[in-house]
Structure 1
Amino acid sequence: MSRTTAHLKEAGTILLVIAGAMLTWEVLVHAFSLKPIILPAPSRIWTEFLQTPAYFFKESAQTLVTTMAGFVAAVVLGLALAIGIVHSKFLERTVYTLLVALNSVPKVALAPLFVIWMGTGIEPKIAIAVLLAIFSIVIDGVLGLRSVDPDMLHLARISRASKLSVLLKIRLPNALPSIFAGLKVAISFALVGAIVGEFVAGSGGLGFAILMAQGQFDTLRVFVCLILLGLLGTGLFYVIEVLERLALPWHVSQRGHVGAGH
C-alpha cells in the first residue's frame, strides 16, 4: 500500500470514529432526555455555531495566533537551551535544574504574575504558552542530542571536526525523532497556555468566550468553544506529524506507520 493510500485510509478511519461518537452522543441525549443546559446534542451545538460563525472564527483565530507565537518562541528558546545544556555542565546544573523546578509549579498560579509584569495584552498569554511548551522541547531535545553513537563522535574527533560540524551533521539529525516527539507535546501545551492566559487576562479568544458563556450559563456556546478547541488542537498536532513525516521518511517509526496499512 502506498504512503498516500495509507494516509487517506487513516484519515477515513478518524472521520468514521468522530462521526460514530457524534451519533452516539446525539442518540444518548435524546434517549435520556437530557436538558441542553446539562448536555446539549451535537445538532443543537452545530445550530448554535451557525448562528454566529464569524464570532467563533474570530475568537479561534485569536487563540491560534497566541498559540503559534508561544509555540515558535518555545521551540527557538527550547532548542537553544537543549544545545547549551548538552555542551555545558554549568547550564546543566543551573538552567536544567531551574526548568525542572519551574515545571513542578502549577502554571495557573504563575499566570497572575505575568499579568502584573506584562499587562493585559497578548504578551502574558504568549509567555504562559511558552512556559508550558518549553519543558518538553528541552527534555526531548537534550535526550536526542545525547543519544548519539559514541563511535560516531569518536570518529568525528579523530577527523578533527569542529563542534559546530558535529552539532549540525551528527547530533541534530540524530536528535530529530526526539525533537519532533517533544514538538507534538509542546503544541498541545502551547494551546493550553494560550487558554489559561485568556482565562486570566483575556479580552478575546476561545478561553475568554468560554468565560463569558459560563457567566451567562450558556452551555451551548461553551460546547461550541470546546469543540473548536478540540479541532484546533488536533489540527495543530497533525501539522507537526506531517512535518515529521516529510523530514524523517527514513525513520523506523514512519516506515512502520506506512507498513501497518498492509
Structure 2
Amino acid sequence: MTPNQTAQQLAAPPRRTAKLRTWLYQALVRLGPAALLGALILTAWQLYVTTSGVLPTVLPAPTRVAMALYTNAELLLQHALVTLAQTALGLAIAVVSALILALAIDSFALLRRALYPWLVAFRTVPIIVLAPLMLIWFGFGMLPKVLLVSFFCFFPIVVATADGLARSDPELLKLLRAMKASRWQVLRLVRWPTALPSFFSGLRIAAAFSVAASVFAEYVGGYAGLGVLMLMATNARATPLVFAAVVLTALASFTLFALVSVIERRTVPWQHR
C-alpha cells in the first residue's frame, strides 16, 4: 500500500463524518421549527385537557391518544392497510391516465381547447358530492374508493402537466424541428424535462390529499379502512381511537408527500440547486 492510499483511507472516515454532520444540520434547519411548533401544540393541548377537566369523549389528551395507538395497534394497522391499498391503486391510475391525457392535450390544439376548460371546472367539484354517487353506482366494495381517489388526484396532475408541457422553450423547439427531430425526440429532449417540475407539483398536491379522499369515501360507506374505523369509534364514543385514526391518516399523507418530494429531488435535481 502506497503512502497516498494510506492517507486516502485515513481521510475517508472524517469526510463521511463531515457529510453526516452536514446532513443532520440541514435536517435540523428544515424540520426543527416544525418539530418545535408540534411539541408546543402537544404541550398546550395536554395542559388544557388536564386543567380544564374536559371529558375524554370530547377531547382526549395526547397521552390518551398515544395509548389508543399502542393498545389498538393491530386493529389500526389492518384498517390502515386497506386505506393505503386503495390510495396507492387510485393514485397510480390517476398518474397514468393524467400523463396520457396531458400528452394528448399538448399534441392536439383542438383537443386542448375542447377539454382544458372542463378539466379546470371538474377540478373544483367537491369530493362530498361525488362520494355518495360512486357508492350508488359501484356499491360498497373497493372499486368506488379507488375511482374516487383517482378522480380526486387526476385533475391536479393533468392540469399541472399540461401547463408544464406548454411552457417548452419555443426556440429549442424550432431548433429541433430544423434538425428534423422526431416527435418522440422533441418530447424526450425538451417537452418532458420542461414539464417535470410542473408534473411533480401536481403530484405532490394529489399525493397529499389522496389518503383523505380514500378515508372520506370509506366514511361515507364501506366495510374496512380508517374511515370505517373512525365511524365505528365515533358511534362507540371511543374518541381517543378516532384521534388515533386521524393521526395515522395524517402520517400516511405526510409520508406520501415526502416520498414524492424525494423522487422529485432525484429526478429533477436542477430545480433544487
TM (norm. structure 2) is 0.87
Question: For each residue in 1:203-249, what CA deviation from the matched residue of structure 2 results, as whole angstroms up to 9, or x when unmatched?
Answer: 11111111111122221111111111111111111111111111122
* Aligned partners of 1:128 and 1:196 also within 8 Å: no
Give the equivalent residue in structure 2 for 1:83: 103
Q: Structure 1's 161 and 6: CA in aligned 2 closer, same or farther, altered over 3 A? A: farther
Say whether residues 1:53 and 2:83 are aligned partners.
no
Equivalent in 192, 209, 220 of residue 240 of structure 2: 220
Equivalent in 157, 164, 171 of residue 137 of structure 1: 157
What secondary structure is seen at the aligned counterpart in 1 of 2:58?
Answer: coil
* Aligned partners of 2:94 and 2:151 also within 8 Å: yes
Say whether residues 1:103 and 2:126 are aligned partners.
no
Q: Which residue identity does 2:236 align to in structure 1? A: Q
Say whether residues 1:74 and 2:83 are aligned partners.
no
* Aligned partners of 1:188 and 1:233 also within 8 Å: yes
Query: How far 1:110 sits from its partner (Å)?
Result: 1.9
Of the structure 1 ranges 88-97 and 2-11, higher mean CA displacement relative to structure 2 is found in: 2-11
Structure 1 runs (4+) greater than 6 angstroms displaced = none
Matches within 5 A, 1:12-31: 12-31=32-51
* Aligned partners of 1:130 and 1:193 also within 8 Å: no
Q: Which residue identity does 1:85 align to in structure 2? A: I
Give the equivalent residue in structure 1 for 2:251: 231
For this pair of structures, how many residues does the alignment match? 253
* Aligned partners of 2:122 and 2:155 also within 8 Å: no
Query: How far 1:102 sits from its partner (Å)?
Result: 2.5
Q: Which has the larger radius of gyration?
A: 2
Whole-Å separation in 2 of the counterparts to 1:137 and 1:230: 21
Q: Which residue identity does 1:117 align to in structure 2? A: W
Equivalent in 163, 169, 172 of residue 192 of structure 2: 172
Query: How far 1:156 sits from its partner (Å)?
Result: 0.9
Give the equivalent residue in structure 2 for 1:203: 223
Unaligned ranges ≥5, structure 1: 256-262
What secondary structure is seen at the aligned counterpart in 2 of 1:250?
Answer: helix
Query: How far 1:158 sits from its partner (Å)?
Result: 0.5
Give the equivalent residue in structure 1 for 2:63: 43
Whole-Å separation in 2 of the counterparts to 1:104 and 1:237: 21
Give the equivalent residue in structure 1 for 2:27: 8
Question: For each residue in 1:52-104, what CA deviation from the matched residue of structure 2 results, as whole angstroms up to 9, or x when unmatched?
Answer: 21001111111111111111111111111111111112322333233233233
RMSD value, Cα: 1.8
Give the equivalent residue in structure 1 for 2:134: 114
Query: How far 1:155 sits from its partner (Å)?
Result: 0.5
Query: How far 1:6 sits from its partner (Å)?
Result: 4.9
Question: For each residue in 1:98-151, what CA deviation from the matched residue of structure 2 results, as whole angstroms up to 9, or x when unmatched?
Answer: 323323332222222222332221110000001111111011101111111111
Residue identity (%): 34
What secondary structure is seen at the aligned counterpart in 1 of 2:270?
Answer: coil
